[in-house]
Structure 1
Amino acid sequence: MKSYDVIILAGGLATRLRPLSYSRPKPLLPILDKEIIDWIMESITKLPLNRIFISIRYMGDLIREHMEGAWSNFKDKLIFVTENKPLGDAGPISLINEKYELSDTFLVVYGDILSDVNAESLINFHEKMNGVATITLTRVDDVSRYGVAQLDETGRIINFIEKPKQYVGSNLINAGFYVFTKEVVKLIPKNPENQIKLAVDIIPRLLRMGEVYGYIHNGLWFDIGTPEDYMKANFSVLTSRCRDGNSNCINADLPSTVTMQPPVYLGPNVTIGNNTEIGPNVIIHKNSKIGNTVKIVNSLIFDGSLLCDGVYVSGSIVGSNTYIGKWARIEDGSVIGDGVYIKDSVFVAKNTKIGPYREIMEPIYREGEVIL
């Protein structure tokens, strides 16, 4: 049986996601207690796999540790390749091929994209079309942030238009999930001085060669570039899986006085106090403790956090192992990093950003305050 190599590109800095990405790489951000890279693995591990290469750089040790624990049954297939400098999204392909000789057909996946792309269907489509490359495409409402693909009647990609300002007859954009043949590797410089980008340096050359096809994905897909994008992705998954108060989404015993408005997700070993109101659009990850008379709406609470009695959180992200004291109030749009301590009765104004491991002892009244 034919088997495939997979490259997961997981070396990015994720600067726009700060302060969340100060203490973790983007592929390890959780969605319903499951890291983004695990969503990717669930798709690709349905394939007959040869090797799984993970290209790492920023906080690569955390990615390695997570993968070797969560995916220990694939340990013999996992190969970590460390970029000694930023190589772009094409450079690691050349580096890996030079060291390990990639299979004749291989997949490349962005490690920071949340999707439910069916890798089996993608491979079957690629084999059927028999092209040199297949690029997964997905539809978006606003094309101005992306490269937009134009297809002919056979499904062949004939053009990419980078970040058009208006509609160009297509709303199909690059979804960051590729199938390549070895012909693609020949187009990538082995020791480039600068970063090599697939969209800029490789795909235009492939289009001139012809036989590049677009596989259209109609399911879940999110480019998680900012905290706002990340929340949107979380709430989309939450709505699709937990809208009816699905018991699989509530992994906790709740006091009778707790009020919940779905969709809500409560992870394993979450505890909720009396007279607390949760929802709508709330995700509380594993091992978090929520006190009495707390109200949480439209928010994400990462694992291991403690919200004391009387806390109010609206439209915000609270990082792992964060302590929020009694009667504190966190307003919309705030992002609080891991390991933060917020004193009792402290007010945090809208759109505040607090870096990890900070102590907040005084109220923050000015909207948009950044404390790193």
Structure 2
Amino acid sequence: MKVLIMAGGYATRLWPITKDKPKALLPVGEKTILDYIMEKVGELGFETHISTNRFFEAHFRPYAEKYGVGLIVEDTLHEEEKLGTVGAMKKAVNELGLDDYLVVAGDNLFSFSPSDFLRAYDGRTLIAVYDVGDLELAKRYGVVVLEGDKVLSFQEKPAQPQSTLISTGVYVFPRGVMELIGEYSSNGNGDSPGYFLQWLLERGEEIKAYRFSDYWYDIGSADSYLEALKTLLGESHIEEIQISPYSKIIPPVVVKRGAKILGRSIVGPFVYIGEDCVIENSDVSDSIIFKDTIIRNSTIWRSIIDEKCEIRNLELKKSLVGGHAKIQRGD
């Protein structure tokens, strides 16, 4: 069996944060999304490859070397050119050969152990499913209907979901199914794995489901990103920083090297502060602040602020601010 981490998307729903940085490498506490995935699949000891694009290739090279895994690079530089998940799977088979493949979406944070997941594998396609508990929310995903652990139907982003159980972007495709990708692709079918699963069911292929219930996050929106931080940020991690005696840190937080917390500031809980940020006379909670950003006389809540921004005299709630922005209200 081979492991394929899918990180070839351009994450347009999180722009401008992901315009120049891949979503899989966004920090969630001390580690990136990819770190969490690699630590889990690394326990399996299987040959592993990260699938990405030419635009983000340089970002992933150090991670491939760090974890001793391969890199498969599709020759695309823009969203409209990308191969999509199924196209990237086809490219992987062409380069690596037929095998059983554990395929994991690179923006996926999940609670289960891949070893437990693979114990449910019996040679039939296996998908990990999670109950989002809300029909409206289920419309965003691939919805499954089960009988026991057998998948009876699969609907990709349905207008009227038949259940709240959704596919989470972790799959095992057996060799025989991987062999069908060429036939599937030649018919002009969609590149979402959900449509591929629908096609397999229509052909009479059996698909099994592995249910889990602790946590799952598809980092496709600011809300899901911040919720993942709240779940996974267990203990504080504070590097060499400067902090005023009148400031307060409320754990858990991550504050990276070179940050300055000045004046009467309150940082936390559930906050990530990047390298060399300046927080002065400001309150920051439930937020992610990337490196080299300055925040003065402001209140930041449930927001994501990209690197090298300057925020002054503002109250920001549920905001997404792109890199190098300068936003202020009059002094």
The TM-score range, normalised by the shorter chain, is 0.7 to 0.9
Matches of 2:159 and 2:253, distance apart in 1: 35
Matches of 1:364 and 1:108, distance apart in 2: 51
TM-score (norm 2): 0.86
TM-score (norm 1): 0.77
User: Which residue of 180, 192, 216 maps to 1:221?
Assistant: 216
Matches of 2:141 and 2:191, distance apart in 1: 18
Aligned counterparts, 1:40-79, within 5 A? 40-68=37-65, 70-71=66-67, 74=68, 77-79=69-71
User: Which residue of 146, 153, 156 maps to 1:159?
Assistant: 153
State the partner residue of 1:356: 323
Aligned partner of residue 117 in structure 1, secondary structure: coil
Aligned partner of residue 89 in structure 2, secondary structure: helix
State the partner residue of 2:36: 39
Output the amino acid matched with 2:310.
Answer: Y
Shift of 1:125: 1.1
Shift of 1:346: 2.9
Moved more, 56-65 or 346-355: 346-355
Shift of 1:45: 0.8
User: Which residue of 175, 181, 184 maps to 2:168?
Assistant: 175
Matches of 2:279 and 2:318, distance apart in 1: 22
Output the amino acid matched with 1:184.
Answer: V
Q: What is the alpha-carbon root mean square deviation over aligned residues?
A: 2.7
Moved more, 51-60 or 110-119: 51-60
Distance change (3 Å), C-alpha of 1:266 and 1:53: closer
Asked if residue 95 in structure 1 is aligned to residue 91 in structure 2, the reply is yes
Are the counterparts in 2 of residues 322 and 339 from structure 1 also a CA contact under 8 Å? yes
Aligned partner of residue 301 in structure 2, secondary structure: coil
Aligned partner of residue 64 in structure 2, secondary structure: helix
State the partner residue of 1:278: 249
Matches of 1:351 and 1:6, distance apart in 2: 36
Matches of 1:305 and 1:195, distance apart in 2: 44
Matches of 1:320 and 1:291, distance apart in 2: 16
How many residue pairs get aligned? The number is 321
Aligned counterparts, 1:99-118, within 5 A? 99-103=95-99, 105-118=100-113
Aligned counterparts, 1:21-36, within 5 A? 21-36=18-33
Structure 1: which 5+ residue stretches go unaligned?
Answer: 242-248, 250-264, 366-372
Output the amino acid matched with 1:141.
Answer: G
Shift of 1:298: 5.0
Are the counterparts in 1 of residues 287 and 304 from structure 2 also a CA contact under 8 Å? yes
Are the counterparts in 2 of residues 33 and 286 from structure 1 also a CA contact under 8 Å? no
Distance change (3 Å), C-alpha of 1:219 and 1:101: same
Output the amino acid matched with 1:321.
Answer: D
Aligned counterparts, 1:220-369, within 5 A? 220-238=215-233, 241=234, 249=235, 265-279=236-250, 282-297=253-268, 300-325=271-296, 328-342=297-311, 345-360=312-327, 362-363=328-329
Distance change (3 Å), C-alpha of 1:185 and 1:364: farther
Output the amino acid matched with 1:130.
Answer: G
State the partner residue of 2:179: 186
Deviations for 1:63-119, whole angstroms, at most 9, x for unmatched residues? 223332x32xx2xx423322433111111111111122132x111110011123311
Matches of 2:21 and 2:177, distance apart in 1: 32
Of all paired residues, the percent bearing the same amino acid is 28
Shift of 1:291: 2.2
Shift of 1:232: 0.9
Are the counterparts in 2 of residues 276 and 292 from structure 1 also a CA contact under 8 Å? yes
Shift of 1:164: 4.7
Distance change (3 Å), C-alpha of 1:276 and 1:351: same
Output the amino acid matched with 2:219.
Answer: I
Structure 2: which 5+ residue stretches go unaligned?
Answer: none
Matches of 1:46 and 1:311, distance apart in 2: 42
Output the amino acid matched with 2:12.
Answer: T
Matches of 1:196 and 1:165, distance apart in 2: 19
